[in-house]
Amino acid sequence: MAKGKRAAAMAENRARLIRAARAAFATQGYADASMDELTAAVGLTRGALYHNFEDKKGLLWAVVEQIDGEMAERLRIVREQAPNPWLGLLAEGSAYIEMALEPEIQRIMLLDGPAVLGDPSKWPGENACLDITMRTIRALIEQGIVKPVDVEAAGRLLNGAALSAALWVAAADDPKNVLSKAVDAFRVLASGLLREAREPA
Amino acid sequence: MAKGKRAAAMAENRARLIRAARAAFATQGYADASMDELTAAVGLTRGALYHNFEDKKGLLWAVVEQIDGEMAERLRIVREQAPNPWLGLLAEGSAYIEMALEPEIQRIMLLDGPAVLGDPSKWPGENACLDITMRTIRALIEQGIVKPVDVEAAGRLLNGAALSAALWVAAADDPKNVLSKAVDAFRVLASGLLREAREPA
DNA sequence: CCCCTTGACATACGCCTCGTATGTGAGCGA
DNA sequence: TCGCTCACATACGAGGCGTATGTCAAGGGG
């Protein structure tokens, strides 16, 4: 039981730093987040940071990977609960839009992440959200519900549309009203993928 | 003739600083661009910068406004050259995607801009690109070509899809091939807006 | 013609932050 | 028990931003 005492403590501290970083990055933004304050908030110093992570960017990488995994899991659940694949795709889109309303996701994943770490399509973990969308589209094409479009292209554009919608909703004075408009528009655009003009039951 | 000698020189210096900032921000990114180097590159010092602009962010604001205006003008020309409004909308989308391939636009307008200045939908100049797209959609709805969707919602999602496509193309190893896939997918999504399943001649 | 004000810019300074190099004390093997 | 290792703290240097202060040309009044 006294086996990995050091390692366990280190993992605990890593987790604490990541938790603090999520909060700091989300509220102050990456650039304005001070590593001194961040580490002190969990009773450590910058020494711990640069021992556990490569640098400030490395900490952001860790945060992004964690959030990315959480988002993918949530999207997976939403899709599996839908009555059919097509509605699953639409539900994914809505869920994505709603997730992007959360300040943490918006700030870290959609604003600072791309600016600091570069294009999300090159992130390791392959941007799990996109991966799920693509899988759904592929399945719909195989079932003949969706036109035989390029899967990656369609997935990326759909995600982009949802993201844009989310940012719009997030910045709106009247989020509820705007949210419904955004979801409607998303469905209209997505319907362009359908082989038949009418949606499947 | 010797009337506004001071003012003219100042305008000239302002323009030079903005030009230098466009280059520096595009190549190094906003955060890594040193104001000392930037001003020295045009034979000035930071004193001139903080006299002409509020601060580093203020310089970015000026750069963003300038680029935004240029993009709007280019989009306007593309739209006007199209044979009909619907093709104009598609051409705008393609043009937008292609513009986002330019490192300057990509880095400043799509990455650092939103991260530093906040959501683009709140930028003054109203994000002229979006404005044009919305006007086109409104006209198409009035002509009965496009479904009566919410104009702003449709415009924002279309722009978002195009933006996402652009980032994808920009980061691709094989830009040419990916570009055509992206444009195809954009047209498929846009076709969801059509009242009739088939495109107008 | 001189002086004085104004404004555009340069210079100098303080503060903060990041990254690294060095110190230190607890844990684990021999 | 001795000593090595490693996780972390401390100390230091470099650089960047923003501001306060200095300076010199341009223009107006006497």
Residues B78, B132, single domain; the answer is: yes
Q: Considering only CA atoms, which of B111, B152, B114, B108 is closest in space to residue B133?
A: B152
Residues A26, A118, single domain; the answer is: no
Q: Say yes or no: Cβ of A5 under 7 A from any atom of strand D.
A: no
CA of A10 to C1' of C28 (A): 16
CATH code for position A7: 1.10.10
Nearest to A115 among B111, B119, B162 (CB): B111
Residues A123, A172, single domain; the answer is: yes
Provide the pLDDT for residue A129. 80
Cα separation, B97 vs B91, in Å, equals 10
Provide the pLDDT for residue A9. 67
The number of residues in chain A equals: 201
Provide the pLDDT for residue A185. 97
Distance from the Cα of A112 to chain B's closest Cα (Å) equals 6
* B201 falls within a domain: no
Cβ of A190 within 8 Å of Cβ of B186? The answer is no
Chain C: positions less than 7 Å from a protein CB are 7-12, 16-21, 23, 27-28
B158: which 2 tokens? Answer: 């279309």
- Residues 34-93 of chain B: which lie with beta carbon within 7 Å of strand C? 39, 43-48, 51-52
Residues B134-181 have pLDDT tens digits of 999 999 999 999 999 999 999 999 999 999 999 888 888 898 899 999
Q: Which domain holds residue B95?
A: 56-191
* B21 falls within a domain: yes
* A86 falls within a domain: yes
* A58 falls within a domain: no
Residue A5 has pLDDT above 80, yes or no: no
Q: Which of B125 and B21 is assigned the larger pLDDT?
A: B21
Grouping H, G, I as helix, E, B as strand and the rest as coil, residue B146 is: strand
Residues B72, B31, single domain; the answer is: no
Q: What is the mean pLDDT of chain B?
A: 89
Residues B46, B60, single domain; the answer is: no
* B200 falls within a domain: no
Residues A46, A73, single domain; the answer is: no
Longest dimension (CA), chain A: 65
Q: Which residue is nearest to nucleotide C12 (CA to C1')?
A: B47
Residues B60, B39, single domain; the answer is: no
Q: Say yes or no: Cβ of B6 under 7 A from any atom of strand C.
A: yes
CATH code for position B185: 1.10.357.10
Q: Within its chain, how far is the Cα of B121 from the centroid?
A: 12
| Partner A, chain B 103-122, Cβ-Cβ below 8 Å | 111-112, 114-116, 118-122
Residues B168, B81, single domain; the answer is: yes
At residue A22, what are phi and psi to the nearest 5 degrees? -55, -45
Nucleotide of closest approach to A54 (CA, C1'): C19
Residues A104, A177, single domain; the answer is: yes
* A199 falls within a domain: no
How confident is residue A147, by pLDDT bands cut at 50, 70 and 90? very high
Q: What is the mean pLDDT of chain A?
A: 89
Bridge partners, residue A146, by sequence: A194
Cα separation, B24 vs B28, in Å, equals 6
Residues A176, A133, single domain; the answer is: yes
Asked if A168 contacts A110 with a C-beta cutoff of 8 angstroms, the reply is no
Cβ of A190 within 8 Å of Cβ of B189? The answer is yes
Q: Which of A6 and A84 is assigned the larger pLDDT?
A: A84
H, E, C per residue of chain A: CCCCHHHHHHHHHHHHHHHHHHHHHHHHCCCCCCHHHHHHCCCCCHHHHHHHCCCHHHHHHHHHHHHHHHHHHHHHHHHHHCCCHHHHHHHHHHHHHHHCCCHHHHHHHHHHHHHHHCCHHHCCCCCHHHHHHHHHHHHHHHCCCECCCCHHHHHHHHHHHHHHHHHHHHHCCCHHHHHHHHHHHHHHHHHCCECCCCCCC
| Dihedral sign of CA atoms B133, B84, B195, A158 in order | negative
Q: Say yes or no: Cβ of A122 under 7 A from any atom of strand C.
A: no
Residues B2-19 have pLDDT tens digits of 345 556 667 788 999 999
At residue B146, what are phi and psi to the nearest 5 degrees? -110, 145
Residues A46, A27, single domain; the answer is: yes
Boundary residue ending a domain (B33, B53, B73): B53
Provide the pLDDT for residue B8. 61
Nucleotide of closest approach to B38 (CA, C1'): D16
Domain count, chain A: 2
* A107 falls within a domain: yes
What percent of chain B has pLDDT above 70? 93
- Residues 125-164 of chain B: which lie with beta carbon within 7 Å of strand C? none
Nearest to A193 among B158, B181, B188 (CB): B188
Residues A68-122 have pLDDT tens digits of 999 999 999 999 999 999 999 999 999 999 998 899 999 999 889 999 998 887 8
Distance from the Cα of A176 to chain B's closest Cα (Å) equals 14
Does B126 reach chain A within 8 Å, measured CB to CB?
A: no
B198: which 2 tokens? Answer: 């088939």
Cα separation, A165 vs B156, in Å, equals 7
Grouping H, G, I as helix, E, B as strand and the rest as coil, residue B125 is: coil
Cβ of A192 within 8 Å of Cβ of B189? The answer is yes
Residues A160-174 have pLDDT tens digits of 999 999 888 888 889
- Chain A residue with minimum CA distance to B188: A192
Boundary residue ending a domain (A10, A29, A53): A53
Cα separation, A129 vs A143, in Å, equals 22
Q: Which residue is nearest to nucleotide D20 (CA to C1')?
A: B47
Asked if A84 contacts A200 with a C-beta cutoff of 8 angstroms, the reply is yes
Residues A141, A115, single domain; the answer is: yes
Nearest to A153 among B121, B171, B184 (CB): B184
* B197 falls within a domain: no
A14: which 2 tokens? Answer: 């890593």
Residue A201 has pLDDT above 60, yes or no: no
Q: What is the mean pLDDT of residues B39-67?
A: 92
Q: Which of A188 and B120 is assigned the larger pLDDT?
A: A188
Bridge partners, residue B194, by sequence: B146
Q: Say yes or no: Cβ of B10 under 7 A from any atom of strand C.
A: yes
